[in-house]
Amino acid sequence: MWSYRARDGVATAMHGLWGTFWLAFGIITLLAETGVAPPLLLGLNVSFAWWFIVLASVTMMGALAALGDNLGMFAVLGLLAAGSAFAAIGFYTGGGWAFTVAGYVLVASAAAAWYTASAMMLAGSFGRTILPLGNLGAAAANVPGRKPLVPMEYPLGMPGAKVGQ
């Protein structure tokens, strides 16, 4: 929840949502493996489809909110939401094609996340844009070699938000 301390609402919501999902998934898998709950099966599983409907809808709102920051985060969250929607369709209808599409879209989301995280880390380390992220309204920040529009720290040295602390 360091995102919350850094006052990043989109990151707080997305990490909270997906972290909670993976904790719940781990618990239900553990219960299934110990025989306390029935096993999770791919295919028709309407109850599990609702998990992915919620993931897709909240993640899509996070993608729309990320448009205020940059296109890189929008791409990551938009693809993640689309992959979740296809997974929901797969669980709701039992259609194997939807799981295949979900897998490809989620791999594309992982690739976009790798690029976006790399661009953010390089900008933070070098103090200038190395890989453009598509910062909306900040044409100069999108050019490699130029300085990002806003440094990745807050004034006044707030704990948990100042680089190097």
Q: What is the pLDDT of residues 21-54, one digit of tens each?
A: 999 989 988 988 898 888 776 667 888 899 999 9
The pTM score is 0.79
pLDDT score of 107 more than 80: yes
Cα–Cα distances (Å) from 143 to 24, 103, 128, 131, in that order, read 42, 33, 9, 8
113 has a pLDDT exceeding 80? yes
What local confidence, expressed as pLDDT, does residue 137 receive? Answer: 63
Residue 153 scores a pLDDT above 60 = no
Q: What are phi and psi of 125, to 5 degrees?
A: -80, -45
**CATH fold of the domain at 43-154:** Helix Hairpins (1.10.287)
Strand-pair partners of 70: 135
Domain ranges of the chain: 43-154
